[in-house]
Amino acid sequence: MNLISKEILVKGLVQGVGFRPFIYRLAHANNLLGTVENNNLGVRIVIQGKENDIINFIEVLPSSIPEASHINQLEVKTINPNKFSDFSIIKSKSLSQEVTEVSPDIAVCINCLEDMEKQSNRINYAFTNCTNCGPRFTIIKDLPYDRPKTTMAPFIMCNECQQEYSNILDRRFHAQPVACSNCGPHYKLIYKDKEFQKIEDILIITSKLIQENKILAIKGLGGFHLACNPFDNETVKKLRLKKNREGKPLALMFSNIKEVQKYLYVNEEEKRLLEDWRRPIVLLKTKEQISEQLSLGLDKLGIMLPYMPFHYLLFKKLKIPALVLTSGNLSDEPIIIDNDVAIKSLDIIADASIIYNREIHNRTDDSVAFVANNKSRIIRRSRSYAPSPIHTNFNTEGIFAAGAELVNCFGIGKGSQIILSQHIGDLKNMETFEFYKESIQRFSNLFRFKPDMVVSDLHPEYLSSKYSDSLNIKSIKVQHHHAHIASCMVENNLDEKVIGISLDGTGYGTDGNIWGGEILVCNLEDFERFNHFEYIKQPGGDAANHHPWRMLLSYLIHYFGSSFINENKNLFDDINNDEISLVSTMIEKDLNCPLTSSAGRLFDAVSALLGVCKNSTYHAEAPMRLEALARKSNTKSKYTFKIDQDISFKSCFEEMIVDLKNNREVSDIAKAFHNTIIDLTKEVSLLIRSKYSINKVALSGGSFQNKILLENCENTLKESGFEVFSQSDIPSNDGGIALGQIAIAAKLRELGRL
Ligand code: ZN
Ligand code: ZN
Ligand code: FE
């Protein structure tokens, strides 16, 4: 008999996701012999058998891969190996192997959901999982990824589970968290000093409580959630108030996609993203049916689909199609993971708690994404995304990146990979800073990482920078907006000179001023600040972030003088007169008024000018409201600006004020302002192209979370013949800074410039 042998190289997301057992089973089903192993590039398969079987194997492979895996490339070549006597999984010889073994958490799969209806030891068992699904990063304490090194360690497998675990042909072969109702963890409901242990009771009581408009604390995958009925305005309001989150919309979980579509607009890519195994919260445009109490003046709401077995079980009982499901924490603190802490501290918010007896080791928040120009854009990278590595063409080994401050996320370099931490949060919050330091320790242990170089933000006051300085190892500082653009470049595999347009709220500049409307000409190793938004005084420094009207006042005084304010008091009609004169004095006498070129502050000022948001209750509220308002308009009109030594918006403000006086629709003014910024990115890019012949534009910075801005900047620049790069898998906000920091440090080291 004539045996044929082939070598198949599979690249993509293929490690730590049950890929090798899958290949084993597929080979077995096709009567093939050979081997499968992980290597640095992905998975290497050698198969030997009859021609038809081999053809079938190669044909079936791509369409039946485990859900959490993804194939980027599949190379097949004919080889001439020895004869095999069986098909086996062989241990990899490569050193960096251990790095890629930490898989992110995976939403429960269809097969497991079916098992929960059919398998006698898994009927309604809420911890059902297999090699294709279940908890990973959240339960792992150390490598190699084996059960004793996870928080499943205290649970001894029963015989049935053990059999599945050891049978290579079983879907649960080597599924470390494998469990059933006889041997695994269990939920418990605590309500008014009573405890309920039976899952059926828990589900009935829980759904009853939610329908009775109670608030519940529910232990999730990466931390606690607070849940309530989204269709009762009073309850939603109460939860928001108690959570100290008055102005900000809360995320919802819907029972299924059909229900989502009744309340929100969902396009194809958004649907794909909602149903992705990572199950992020997806920002979707609301339909009329969504109450104002949920959307709070914005036109978007964060929506997710069930991802834990418990979610599915609960929706089977619930008579409402959605739940508010927001992170279980008090205002800015990290999400709570500990049962006792949750019961104690969420007590003031929740009427009942649902806990389970498996520990969460690594805290993760729900990840958040939106879709722009048909591409998903992650803006909070946590559950099910971290700690997936980012592959680079550099040697990143030993580089620790401290990240930024407000939306912190740190990173480590391993081999040629960069591993970003899960979303950490605002380091100014003490508990969050503790979480930061603890996570750095955990990453160091988990990934056998010892830093020999640390890279941090130029900002001397960032806690992440101070922490880096305290490490007493070789340290380099990177300018914030250079890091933003570098982050975008690494994600897009760029290592050359580009036009970098970095628009955001705050970043420390090389001149000590607050930057944020930055037009750079840069590569990874260096940047030139080609131009920037005009410097404006930021009265009170950071305090101005909460009071957009202060920036309006500052812009108006800067361009038109103090007398203009007296003649146009109506622009500040809901602001106290004393406050106006106090802040005016600060501006005139230059007291505590750092200079800023921030794009975020410009959006703040315009938002205040249009009466959209004069005081903000949460980060970026004013620009978000301005964007929502602009979406109501289709106007193509735009205002003027002047590109000179810097970029001046004087004429833009003049024209907006005339429009306001002529009672032009504010939505049209908001949109025209957006169009102005979009036009500006094009004009300045054209200038750079004519001067430097650079045709690639990288867009990054928190302002590109603005969908109007991102989509239209991309489109307009493309129409002008530019190649445009933006962020998708990595946040364009400060959560992406660590990636850029490592890339810059790695490049400088490669060039011998450190
Ligand atoms: Zn499964
Ligand atoms: Zn069992
Ligand atoms: Fe930033």
pLDDT, one tens digit per residue, over 188-229 is: 999 999 999 999 999 999 999 999 999 999 999 999 999 999
Ligand 3 centroid distance, CA of 589 (Å)? 29
pLDDT at 286 over 90: yes
Ligand 1 centroid distance, CA of 238 (Å)? 37
pLDDT of residue 754: 86
State the SS3 of 249-265.
CCCEEECCHHHHHHHEE
pLDDT of residue 95: 43
Q: Are 305 and 257 in contact (CB under 8 A)?
A: yes
Ligand 3 centroid distance, CA of 463 (Å)? 15
Tell me the C-alpha distance between 727 and 390, whole Å: 13
Check which CATH number belongs to the domain holding 572 and give it.
3.30.420.40
Ligand 2 centroid distance, CA of 179 (Å)? 5
pLDDT at 13 over 90: no
Q: Are residues 73 and 215 in the same domain?
A: no
Ligand 2 centroid distance, CA of 288 (Å)? 47
Among residues 74, 89, 104, which one ends one of the domains? 89
Say how many C-beta atoms besides its own lie within 10 A of residue 505's C-beta: 23
Which ligand has an atom closest to residue 164 CA? Answer: 2
Q: Which residues lie at CB < 5 A from ion ligand 3?
A: 504, 734
Q: Are residues 676 and 564 in the same domain?
A: yes
276 forms bridges with which residues in the sheet?
Answer: none
Instruction: Confirm whether 401 is domain-assigned.
Output: no
Which ligand has an atom closest to residue 407 CA? Answer: 3
pLDDT of residue 610: 98
Domain count, the chain: 3
pLDDT band at residue 93 using 50, 70 and 90 as cut-offs: low
Which ligand has an atom closest to residue 488 CA? Answer: 3
Q: CA–CA distance from 236 to each of 250, 597, 681, 752 (Å)? A: 9, 38, 40, 57
Q: Which are the contacts of 272, defined by CB distance < 8 A and separation ≥ 6?
A: none
pLDDT, one tens digit per residue, over 579-611 is: 999 999 999 999 999 999 999 999 999 999 999
Backbone angles phi, psi at 201, to 5 degrees: -65, -45
Q: Are residues 72 and 217 in the same domain?
A: no
Supply the mean pLDDT for the chain: 95
Ligand 2 centroid distance, CA of 129 (Å)? 11
Q: CA–CA distance from 580 to each of 145, 159, 545, 550, 574 (Å)? A: 60, 74, 16, 8, 10
Token couple for 185: 């963890």
Ligand 3 centroid distance, CA of 138 (Å)? 28
Which ligand has an atom closest to residue 128 CA? Answer: 1
Which ligand has an atom closest to residue 131 CA? Answer: 1
Ligand 2 centroid distance, CA of 143 (Å)? 23
Which ligand has an atom closest to residue 734 CA? Answer: 3
pLDDT at 515 over 90: yes
**Rg over CA atoms, the chain:** 27
Helix residue ranges per DSSP H, 620-706: 621-630, 650-661, 666-692
pLDDT of residue 712: 98
Average the pLDDT over 706-720 and give the result. Answer: 98
Average the pLDDT over 684-694 and give the result. Answer: 98
pLDDT at 496 over 50: yes
Q: Are 33 and 85 in contact (CB under 8 A)?
A: yes
Ligand 2 centroid distance, CA of 383 (Å)? 26
pLDDT band at residue 42 using 50, 70 and 90 as cut-offs: confident
Among residues 89, 107, 127, which one ends one of the domains? 89
Average the pLDDT over 721-735 and give the result. Answer: 98
b vs e for 55-87, b when ≥16 Cβ sit within 10 Å of the residue's Cβ?
ebbbeebeeebbbbbebeebeeeeeeeeebeeb
Instruction: Confirm whether 720 is domain-assigned.
Output: yes
pLDDT at 35 over 90: yes
Ligand 2 centroid distance, CA of 637 (Å)? 65
Average the pLDDT over 342-363 and give the result. Answer: 95
Q: Which region among 41-45, 363-367, 496-500 has the lowest average model confidence (pLDDT)?
A: 41-45
Q: Are residues 677 and 554 in the same domain?
A: yes
Average the pLDDT over 274-283 and give the result. Answer: 98
Ligand 2 centroid distance, CA of 259 (Å)? 34
Which ligand has an atom closest to residue 119 CA? Answer: 2
pLDDT of residue 81: 72
Q: Which are the contacts of 640, defined by CB distance < 8 A and separation ≥ 6?
A: 651, 652, 655, 676
Q: Are residues 552 and 668 in the same domain?
A: yes
Beta strands in 198-247 (DSSP E): 216-219, 224-228
Q: Are 378 and 368 in contact (CB under 8 A)?
A: yes
The amino acid at 189: L
Ligand 3 centroid distance, CA of 408 (Å)? 10
pTM: 0.95
Q: Are residues 229 and 351 in the same domain?
A: yes
Q: Are residues 85 and 191 in the same domain?
A: no
Q: Are residues 191 and 80 in the same domain?
A: no
Ligand 1 centroid distance, CA of 130 (Å)? 4
Ligand 3 centroid distance, CA of 596 (Å)? 13
Handedness of CA 37, 42, 48, 53 (dihedral sign): positive
Ligand 3 centroid distance, CA of 735 (Å)? 8
Which ligand has an atom closest to residue 158 CA? Answer: 2
Which ligand has an atom closest to residue 175 CA? Answer: 1
Among residues 60, 89, 118, which one ends one of the domains? 89
Ligand 2 centroid distance, CA of 110 (Å)? 19
Q: Are residues 228 and 347 in the same domain?
A: yes
Q: Which are the contacts of 560, defined by CB distance < 8 A and separation ≥ 6?
A: 653
pLDDT band at residue 507 using 50, 70 and 90 as cut-offs: very high
Which ligand has an atom closest to residue 120 CA? Answer: 2
Backbone angles phi, psi at 509, to 5 degrees: -95, 165
pLDDT of residue 169: 86
Q: Which residues lie at CB < 5 A from ion ligand 2?
A: 158, 161, 180, 182-183
**CA dihedral of 583, 589, 592, 593, whole degrees rounded to 10:** 80
Ligand 3 centroid distance, CA of 335 (Å)? 23
pLDDT of residue 38: 82
Average the pLDDT over 442-460 and give the result. Answer: 95
Ligand 3 centroid distance, CA of 428 (Å)? 16
Ligand 1 centroid distance, CA of 131 (Å)? 6
Q: Are residues 191 and 82 in the same domain?
A: no
Domain of 330, in residue numbers: 187-356
Check which CATH number belongs to the domain holding 331 and give it.
3.90.870.40
Which ligand has an atom closest to residue 504 CA? Answer: 3
Tell me the C-alpha distance between 487 and 510, whole Å: 19
Ligand 2 centroid distance, CA of 199 (Å)? 16
pLDDT of residue 78: 93
pLDDT of residue 1: 65
Ligand 1 centroid distance, CA of 117 (Å)? 13
Ligand 2 centroid distance, CA of 138 (Å)? 21
Ligand 1 centroid distance, CA of 426 (Å)? 35
Q: Are 196 and 205 in contact (CB under 8 A)?
A: yes
What SS3 class is residue 642? strand
Check which CATH number belongs to the domain holding 15 and give it.
3.30.70.100
Instruction: Confirm whether 749 is domain-assigned.
Output: no
Average the pLDDT over 377-406 and give the result. Answer: 96
Tell me the C-alpha distance between 103 and 68, whole Å: 9
Ligand 1 centroid distance, CA of 28 (Å)? 20
Ligand 2 centroid distance, CA of 141 (Å)? 22
Token couple for 308: 């834990």
State the SS3 of 23-43.
HHHHHHHCCCEEEEEEECCEE
Average the pLDDT over 484-512 and give the result. Answer: 98
pLDDT at 381 over 70: yes
Token couple for 563: 């007398």
Instruction: Confirm whether 453 is domain-assigned.
Output: no
Backbone angles phi, psi at 629, to 5 degrees: -65, -45
Ligand 3 centroid distance, CA of 394 (Å)? 24
Percent residues over pLDDT 90 in the chain: 88
Instruction: Confirm whether 682 is domain-assigned.
Output: yes
Ligand 2 centroid distance, CA of 164 (Å)? 9
Ligand 3 centroid distance, CA of 133 (Å)? 34
Instruction: Confirm whether 364 is domain-assigned.
Output: no
Q: Are residues 83 and 210 in the same domain?
A: no
Which ligand has an atom closest to residue 122 CA? Answer: 2
Average the pLDDT over 470-488 and give the result. Answer: 97
Q: Are 375 and 492 in contact (CB under 8 A)?
A: no
Token couple for 303: 């929506």
Pairing of strands 399-401, 352-356: unpaired
Average the pLDDT over 251-275 and give the result. Answer: 98
Ligand 3 centroid distance, CA of 684 (Å)? 20
pLDDT of residue 94: 53
Instruction: Confirm whether 154 is domain-assigned.
Output: no
pLDDT, one tens digit per residue, over 149-169 is: 999 999 999 999 999 999 988
Backbone angles phi, psi at 495, to 5 degrees: -140, 70
Instruction: Confirm whether 527 is domain-assigned.
Output: no
pLDDT at 100 over 60: no
Q: CA–CA distance from 623 to each of 357, 548, 604, 607, 704 (Å)? A: 42, 10, 6, 7, 11
b vs e for 508-519, b when ≥16 Cβ sit within 10 Å of the residue's Cβ?
bbeeebbbbbbb
Phi-psi region of 34 (alpha: psi -120 to 50; beta: other; left: phi over 0): left
Pairing of strands 453-457, 475-478: parallel
Ligand 1 centroid distance, CA of 618 (Å)? 38
pLDDT, one tens digit per residue, over 334-346 is: 999 999 999 999 9
Ligand 3 centroid distance, CA of 503 (Å)? 8
